[in-house]
């Protein structure tokens, strides 16, 4: 993008000059209305909100005491600026900026609001508010691109237009690359070839409410592993073999899937050396994670259950974790812990086969289908952003 900016600057012979805000813009301000008397309608009302372009709602055009503006930039008392290429009413403590003798285009409005944001948005707060009188009288300056025309130095609106269009095209191309990278990463992480649902997968998802379910104790479907090593963090230095970030060191944190860091320690404290599919449940905070690598475990006085089973894999584990979380998040708290004794007898619901045993194949198919749906939603989100940019460009 920097290279493209330099090319544009050379093309238009750009020099950047400072302009005083109070002299460049005609500055107004909003007004107070009784929203209870305002009827719903199609005209947006701009508030001090810092989301949704500041729009707080849509009202009827004829609201008593409301002040209306067309094609303008708003800047609230926090110093946050937005461009509005439409007619809107404006609340108190929201200021309006319209250029003298020049009607803003879409590209110019976007550019100028970005410049104003850079100048004001990090300088004001509830305790230090930006007022219209400050905007008018305190000599605030912003830098804008200029060029010489007929011997006069003027703001280069041509440069601004091309800059915004170039930036939007760059953003669109970036989104397309992001889309492909995300899709590749999702399919790789889930071992899927594509993200389109098959007829079987759709059928399995639709049958979730009709398939037979049965209650099971957790100890009937998962095996508690014995002789698990736990490490006091104070002993890490003497157990360290090298600085290599080899295996995960798990704690009870809910961040980063419970991984504190990656370490290379003495083999005597390494758990799950064969990398079997494993579920960890921490009794104190009911945190549950899946792993299929060797790992180290932070000392928790035996509060972490290490569970395995012959049928367990990455996909069936996700179904089981969801079923377990649904129960223990409601049943246990820090003061009523999910101890190993309590966990073993905890009842969860699972889909079953005709012989009343858990249907792990069905669970796998459902999870794979859900993964595809999540991928579809994420890809659609990126596609929608690309379409929006393309609409703006057209």
Q: Residue 265 pLDDT more than 90? A: yes
Q: Residue 5 pLDDT more than 70? A: no
Q: Which residues contact residue 384 at a Cβ distance below 8 angstroms, ignoring those fewer than 6 apart?
A: none
For residue 335, what are its two tokens?
């003061």
Instruction: Give the pLDDT confidence score for residue 55 in this predicted structure.
Output: 94
Burial class (CB in 10 A: 0-12, 13-18, 19+), 80: buried
- Binned at pLDDT 50, 70 and 90, residue 393 comes out as low
Over residues 137-161, the mean pLDDT reads 91
**Which has more pLDDT, 120 or 7?**
120
**Which has more pLDDT, 332 or 42?**
42
What's the rounded Cα separation, in Å, for the pair 355 and 331?
30
User: What is the DSSP annotation of 321-357?
Assistant: HHHHHHHHHHH--SSS---HHHHHT-EEEEEB-TTSS
Q: Convert 268-301 to b/e letters by CB count within 10 Å (16 or more is b).
A: ebbbbeeeebbbbbbbbbbbbbbbeebbbbbeee
Residue 155 and residue 23 in contact, taking contact as beta carbons nearer than 8 Å: no
Dihedral sign, Cα of residue 278, residue 284, residue 285, residue 286: positive
pLDDT in tens, 57-111: 999 888 888 999 999 999 999 999 999 999 999 999 999 999 998 999 999 999 9
Instruction: Give the pLDDT confidence score for residue 3 in this predicted structure.
Output: 66
Instruction: Give the pLDDT confidence score for residue 338 in this predicted structure.
Output: 79
For residue 340, what are its two tokens?
């190993």
For residue 174, what are its two tokens?
């970036």
Instruction: Give the pLDDT confidence score for residue 327 in this predicted structure.
Output: 92
pLDDT in tens, 202-254: 888 888 888 999 999 999 999 999 999 999 988 999 999 999 999 999 988 77
pLDDT in tens, 269-310: 999 999 999 999 988 888 899 999 999 999 988 889 999 999
- Binned at pLDDT 50, 70 and 90, residue 4 comes out as low
Q: Residue 155 pLDDT more than 90? A: yes
For residue 113, what are its two tokens?
């609001």
* Closest by Cα among 241, 250, 240, 256 to 272: 250
Delineate the domains of the chain, giving CATH numbers in brackets.
Answer: 2-155 (3.90.220.20), 212-358 (3.90.220.20)
**Which has more pLDDT, 33 or 82?**
82
What's the rounded Cα separation, in Å, for the pair 219 and 345?
7
Phi, psi (degrees; rounded to nearest 5) at 87 = -85, 135
Instruction: Give the pLDDT confidence score for residue 392 in this predicted structure.
Output: 58
Instruction: Give the pLDDT confidence score for residue 173 in this predicted structure.
Output: 73
What's the rounded Cα separation, in Å, for the pair 280 and 141?
58
Instruction: Give the pLDDT confidence score for residue 371 in this predicted structure.
Output: 86
Instruction: Give the pLDDT confidence score for residue 345 in this predicted structure.
Output: 93
pLDDT in tens, 314-361: 999 999 999 999 999 888 877 778 788 999 999 999 999 999 999 999
pTM: 0.57
- Binned at pLDDT 50, 70 and 90, residue 378 comes out as confident
Instruction: Give the pLDDT confidence score for residue 123 in this predicted structure.
Output: 85
Alpha helices in 121-198 (DSSP H): 132-137, 157-190
Q: Residue 2 pLDDT more than 70? A: no
Q: How many CB atoms lie within 10 A of CB 302?
A: 11
- Binned at pLDDT 50, 70 and 90, residue 39 comes out as confident
Instruction: Give the pLDDT confidence score for residue 1 in this predicted structure.
Output: 52
């Amino acid at each position: 993008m920097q290279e493209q900016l330099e090319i544009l600057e050379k093309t238009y012979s750009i020099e950047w000059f400072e302009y005083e805000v109070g002299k460049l813009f005609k500055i107004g301000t909003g007004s107070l209305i009784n929203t209870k008397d305002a009827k719903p309608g199609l005209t947006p009302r701009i508030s001090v909100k810092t989301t949704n372009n500041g729009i707080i709602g849509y009202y009827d055009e004829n609201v008593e005491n409301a002040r209306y503006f067309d094609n303008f930039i708003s800047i609230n008392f926090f110093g946050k600026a937005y461009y509005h290429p439409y007619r809107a009413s404006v609340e108190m403590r929201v200021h309006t900026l319209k250029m003298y003798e020049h009607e803003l285009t879409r590209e110019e409005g976007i550019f100028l609001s970005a410049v104003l944001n850079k100048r004001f948005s990090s300088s004001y707060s509830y305790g230090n508010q930006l007022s219209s009188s400050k905007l008018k009288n305190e000599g605030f300056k912003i830098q804008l691109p200029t060029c010489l025309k007929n011997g006069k130095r003027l703001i280069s609106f041509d440069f601004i237009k091309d800059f915004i269009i170039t930036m939007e095209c760059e953003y669109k191309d970036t989104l397309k690359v992001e889309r492909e990278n995300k899709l590749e990463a999702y399919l790789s992480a889930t071992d899927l070839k594509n993200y389109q649902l098959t007829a079987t997968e759709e059928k399995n998802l639709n049958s979730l409410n009709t398939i037979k379910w049965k209650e099971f104790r957790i100890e009937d479907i998962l095996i508690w592993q014995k002789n698990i090593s736990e490490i006091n963090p104070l002993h890490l230095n003497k157990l360290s073999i090298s600085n290599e970030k080899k295996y995960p060191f798990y704690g009870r944190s809910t961040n980063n899937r419970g991984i504190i860091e990656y370490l290379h320690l003495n083999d005597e404290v390494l758990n799950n050396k064969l990398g079997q599919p494993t579920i960890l449940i921490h009794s104190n905070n009911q945190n549950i994670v899946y792993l299929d690598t060797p790992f180290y475990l932070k000392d928790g006085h035996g509060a972490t259950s290490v569970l395995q089973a012959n049928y367990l894999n990455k996909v069936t584990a996700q179904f089981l974790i969801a079923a377990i979380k649904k129960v223990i998040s409601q049943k246990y708290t820090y003061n009523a812990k999910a101890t190993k004794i309590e966990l073993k007898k905890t009842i969860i619901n699972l889909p079953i086969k005709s012989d009343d045993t858990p249907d792990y194949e069905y669970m796998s198919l459902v999870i794979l289908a859900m993964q595809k749906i999540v991928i579809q939603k994420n890809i659609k989100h990126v596609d929608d952003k690309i379409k929006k940019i393309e609409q703006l460009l057209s």
